[in-house]
Amino acid sequence: MTSTRRQNADTKGRIAARTQPMFNRVLPAHPAAVRDTLGDIRRRFAAEVGEDTLARLELVLAEVMNNVTEHGAGISVEDDPRRAPSIHISIVRHVSGLCCAITDDGASLPDDCLQPRCLPSLTQPELPEGGWGWYLIQDLTQALCYFREDQRNYLAFSVPFSEEARPL
């Protein structure tokens, strides 16, 4: 990506060290668009962020955007792709991690999503096939916050860098 190259082009390293890589995108809440976006985010930060952090970031963002895709429209998006909510995602690198803000114009988030989660009991016949997404989001993020304003959901959180793999 040319903008990345431009940001990192400073040979003395002074500007490059201060420039925080960012990612911004608006996408429809659709599984294929989510998949493409996750790939682009990975490529955007691959040079500056360790693999472990990138992997946690990818998982969290997948879970958040999947939720919008699955529940945001209030109907199955496959019935009418035009009714898919629009997602706006921003990621900025900070000192201690990657700060993410995700907004969408889909249905309001149910209150219990942000309540602290316990894992369900692990007895096999009753194992739930869903409901793991919010558990993973809560486990892998810091400073998770949510608010609804007008017709949009606002979700923000940080994905901390792993201790063994400090950013460059």
Q: How far is the CB of 138 from another protein (least distance, A)?
A: 10
Q: Which C-beta is closer to another protein: that of 13 or that of 125?
A: 125
Q: Which C-beta is closer to another protein: that of 35 or that of 148?
A: 35
Q: Which C-beta is closer to another protein: that of 132 or that of 147?
A: 132
Question: Is residue 98 within 8 Å of 91, Cβ to Cβ?
Answer: yes
CA distance 53 to 74: 32
DSSP letter string, 141-152: -EEEEEEEETTE
CA distance 15 to 23: 18
Q: 168: helix, coil or strand?
A: coil
Q: How far is the CB of 58 from another protein (least distance, A)?
A: 7
Q: Which C-beta is closer to another protein: that of 129 or that of 149?
A: 129
Q: How far is the CB of 66 from another protein (least distance, A)?
A: 4
CA distance 58 to 66: 12
Q: Which C-beta is closer to another protein: that of 13 or that of 130?
A: 130
Residues at the contact surface with another protein, assessed by CB under 8 A: 31-32, 34-35, 55-56, 58-59, 62-63, 66, 69-70, 119, 122, 124-125, 127-130, 132-133, 135-136, 139-140
CA distance 69 to 85: 7
Q: How far is the CB of 17 from another protein (least distance, A)?
A: 29
Question: CA nearest 19: which of 119, 168, 143?
Answer: 168
Q: How far is the CB of 152 from another protein (least distance, A)?
A: 22
